[in-house]
A = this chain, B = another copy of it.
Amino acid sequence: MGIDQVRWGVVATGNISTSFTKDLALLDDAVVTAVASRSQDSANAFAETFGIEHRFDDYRRLIDSGTVDALYIGTPHPQHYAIARAALQAGIAVLCEKPVTLTARQAEDLVAVARETNTLFAEAMWMRTNPVVQAMFADLEKGVIGEPMEALADFGFHKPVLPARLLDPALGGGSLMDGGIYPMTFVQMALGRPDEVKAVGSLNADGIDLNVAMAWRYDSGAVAALTCGLRSQNPWTASVSGPDGSLLLPHRFHHPPYYVRSTAAGEERIDVETHGLGYHYEAAEVMRALRAGLVECPVLPHAATIEILELLDETRRQIGVRYPGDDEYLGG
């Protein structure tokens, strides 16, 4: 009854996989049937914690096991591409953490494989499926602020000791790939694809971006300013403004507690009910698309995934950030 209750496999056992698996328990029509880690001990421990039947020490063994309908990939960025490609080629639906690949070219290849094999592929850009974010964008669509003409988004945080992964070029570290992708996605949702992009970045000795600021311009007349960083506790908000007002997502705008609508009617705080940590919304979208026989989730569109990676490519080019896996391309 795989499609009544979608059988999920989880690859990697870190924080993000833990959060995703916890949230998946909120969905009656989902079950995690398998987990894979490079360490059998980690796979076993994760499986014990969440009552998962199958545990593997290699993602390929999970893919070949025939125990799952959909795969969630929560590994560090550089491993996404090969795992997602293998799953898609095996006809297993893929929900892959963002950024799905290190380059737009790799993402294009995954989309091509998904279409060739008629297999669902989606980027785990959970912000797009968040009910508060969706309500705010529904307001924008309704025209409550008029035609959007400016967007601002900031994703900056700091910890005395940052996770080593964030500072490791071999793991796709830096503020841009982990944090910057959110303001970029917000602005792309608000204003579309920019016609001109300029970026500045502050890199550490390993060539990893610790701080990035971006200025985007649109032929429509709109502009946007974006930042991301690992050196400061920023307001971490996002807004879009038009002639009639602005819509703002407050602190931790990628999974915000409410949004703020400012128009001639005044400033209103709009509360929208949410559940769990917020990762099950993307999983529910994947299952909905899977049942509808789609290769693409309407709210997690392939074109947006590729577009954001093109913007990441260009931004990294301008600020001089390269990763060991940049050139890796498994496609035909």
Contact A212 B223 (CB under 8 A): yes
Given A152-B152, A212-B223, is A218 in contact with B233 using a C-beta cutoff of 8 Å? Answer: no
Indicate whether A322 reaches chain B with its CB closer than 8 angstroms. Answer: no
Indicate whether A200 reaches chain B with its CB closer than 8 angstroms. Answer: yes
Return A152 CB to nearest CB of chain B, in Å.
6
Copies of this chain, complex-wide, total: 2
Stretch in A15-23, A42-50, A61-69, A240-248 touching the partner:
A240-248
Contact A225 B152 (CB under 8 A): yes
Given A232-B148, A246-B232, is A225 in contact with B223 using a C-beta cutoff of 8 Å? Answer: no
Contact A243 B239 (CB under 8 A): no
- Roughly how many angstroms separate A73 CA and B233 CA in the complex, as a whole number? 41
- Roughly how many angstroms separate A150 CA and B242 CA in the complex, as a whole number? 25
CB-contact partner of A242 in B152, B223, B233, B244, under 8 A: B233
Contact with B along A210-227 (1 / 0, CB 8 A): 111111111001111111
What is the number of residues of chain A that contact chain B, defined by CB distance less than 8 Å? 46
A198: chain B residues within 8 A (beta carbon): 198-200, 215
A231: chain B residues within 8 A (beta carbon): 149-150, 221-222, 242-243
Q: Which residues of A contact B (CB under 8 A)?
A: 145, 148-150, 152, 154, 156, 158, 160, 196, 198-202, 210-218, 221-227, 229, 231-235, 239, 241-246, 248, 262
28 A-B residue contacts at CB 8 Å?
Answer: A150-B211, A150-B227, A150-B229, A150-B234, A152-B152, A158-B242, A200-B215, A200-B217, A201-B217, A201-B223, A202-B218, A211-B221, A212-B223, A213-B215, A213-B224, A213-B225, A214-B215, A214-B225, A215-B225, A221-B231, A224-B227, A225-B227, A231-B242, A233-B245, A234-B241, A235-B246, A235-B248, A235-B262
